[in-house]
Homo-oligomer: A and B are copies of this chain.
Amino acid sequence: MRLHNFHLSSTSFRVRIALALKGLDYEYVAVKLAWKDGDHDRPEYRAFNPQANVPVLEDGDARLTQSLAIFEYLEEKYPEPPILPRDPIGRARVRSLALFVACEIQPLNNLRAERFLAASMGADKDALRRWRRHWIQTGFDVIERSLASDPATGTFCHGETPTIADCCLVPQIANALRPAAGLELAPWPTIARIHRACLELPAFQAALPQNQPDHARVDGARRE
């Protein structure tokens, strides 16, 4: 298996967690995302992946895009340990939480959206920061309410083992905590508690941006 990804990309981070939870080894191929001259903007990369995004997982002949499609593929092909509950209603709940992050927070905050806001609406650094914080804050309000009000929530988003909901939530939290958004988790105690539980697991630690080979080091120290 080969994972084309970027250490700071939250969608890449999601898949790194899922692969680690399932104990699957892979070759790490770094694809640098950047405001200007990123690898994803190059014609060769676009020919390799028409969506021009990360992550891409290669597994034999399969070339898979979209992190949530990759989760489902992994669950079907490598079912143990599961990253979805077994019962239909639990599966639907977990998928809905994952999709809420994937459809209602992340797309509004990613590089692509912010680049176009700057180019087309003249959004400056402060406006982009407000934009970024708004979607995380309103999104986390929804997730907190959903998790805190539902007895299906356990140590993790759903019960006592991590699922794709946690695989999506933890990278979104990482984005929230980065200086570019500068948020703290205090307003969302359930999210904060689940975050701590996840970070105790080696699979989540292994997937952290700062533990990836494309995380640059300066003078022996990590840059971030």
Q: State the A residues within 8 Å of B (CB).
A: 50-53, 61-62, 64-66, 68-70, 72-73, 76-77, 88-89, 91-93, 95-96, 99-100, 102-104, 106-108, 112-113, 116-117, 120-121, 123, 127, 130-131, 134, 142, 145-146, 149
Contacts and interface: CB of A to CB of B under 8 A. Distances in A.
A146 B51 contact: yes
Q: A99, A116, A120: which has the most chain B beta carbons within 10 Å?
A: A99
A99 B142 contact: no
A142 to B, nearest CB: 6
A7 to B, nearest CB: 20
Contact of A68 (B52, B61, B95): B95
Contact of A73 (B72, B88, B149): B88
Q: A70, A88, A123: which has the most chain B beta carbons within 10 Å?
A: A88
A143 B123 CA distance: 28
Contacts of A92: 62, 64, 69-70, 72-73
A113 B69 CA distance: 24
Given A50-B145, A107-B103, A88 B68 contact: no
A145 B53 CA distance: 14
A145 B62 CA distance: 18
Contacts of A120: 127, 130-131, 134
Q: A92, A100, A120, A145: which has the most chain B beta carbons within 10 Å?
A: A92
A15 B147 CA distance: 24
A106 B102 CA distance: 12
